[in-house]
Chain A
């Protein structure tokens, strides 16, 4: 199981700023290991962020997003104490979901 995400959600100026740091190799499938074999691609393919059950962002990624991906966005309508849930799924079908509290 992948390590948890770090999610920081901050309410400011009527909007909520969300910063997410995910833990993932994001292997491109183009890199060779020391024995010259291609390392198979392994990367997060989709990301969804929800607030109170409402989707506030979805993303589709290819392998060119950097290792341990960082994502920042803003949405309106969140209150302090609300939860923001972020879920990702990679190309091998692994999933990870974590939540952050808006402060």
Chain B
């Protein structure tokens, strides 16, 4: 069991290397996902998802409280009125790893998402929207009275 798993991992790694060397997969694309979630700063996380200098946009509407009592459960809703919205990504600047969640919006699905996130402390929360191949961003500060990360 253990042995075969090790073999599988080895083979998987070899395959990935092969795909990379053959140029079938670009390194950025292949590893961006896992990497982006481990980035420790907002700038790094944005770079890892391929969004450098996203334009500020008024067409992204935040529905989130200005003050949240419990950082473990902060309701956040984002609505993108940008035509051709392809994805919505949530980032909390001051969390240990800012990237929280990324949603891919296929055609036919409305550009609005609601979820609940954890916040370690008061921070700016960013909604990054990809629409027609371009990145746009909006932010809102949410004040936290009780942190939601750590014990």
Render B98-125 as a binary contact track against A, CB cut-off 8 A, 1 for contact.
Answer: 0111111110111011111111000000
Q: Count of B residues near A, CB < 8 Å?
A: 34
A101 interface residue, CB < 8 Å from B? no
Render B9-42 as a binary contact track against A, CB cut-off 8 A, 1 for contact.
Answer: 0000000000000000000000001000100000
Known: A74-B110, A75-B108, A75-B110. A61 touches B116 (CB 8 A): no
Smallest beta-carbon distance B17→chain A, Å: 22
Known: A32-B151, A62-B101. A15 touches B110 (CB 8 A): yes
Whether A28 pairs with B109 at a CB distance below 8 angstroms is no
Query: For the complex, what is the distance from the CA of A59 to the CA of B108, rounded to whole Å?
Result: 16
Pick the contact of A60: B33, B74, B97, B110 (CB < 8 A). B33
Chain A residues with Cβ below 8 Å from B113 are 71-73
* Residue from the set A54, A63, A66, A72 with the largest chain B CB neighbour count within 10 Å: A66
Q: Count of A residues near B, CB < 8 Å?
A: 30
Query: For the complex, what is the distance from the CA of A61 to the CA of B92, rounded to whole Å?
Result: 13
Whether B102 pairs with A64 at a CB distance below 8 angstroms is no
Known: A30-B96, A62-B99. A69 touches B106 (CB 8 A): no
Whether B115 pairs with A60 at a CB distance below 8 angstroms is no
A31 interface residue, CB < 8 Å from B? yes
Chain B residues with Cβ below 8 Å from A54 are 106, 108
Using A15-B110, A59-B103, A64-B99 as known contacts, list a sample of 11 further A-B pairs with CB atoms less than 8 Å apart, ordered by residue number in A.
Answer: A28-B118, A30-B96, A31-B151, A57-B103, A57-B106, A60-B33, A63-B118, A64-B101, A65-B101, A65-B115, A66-B117
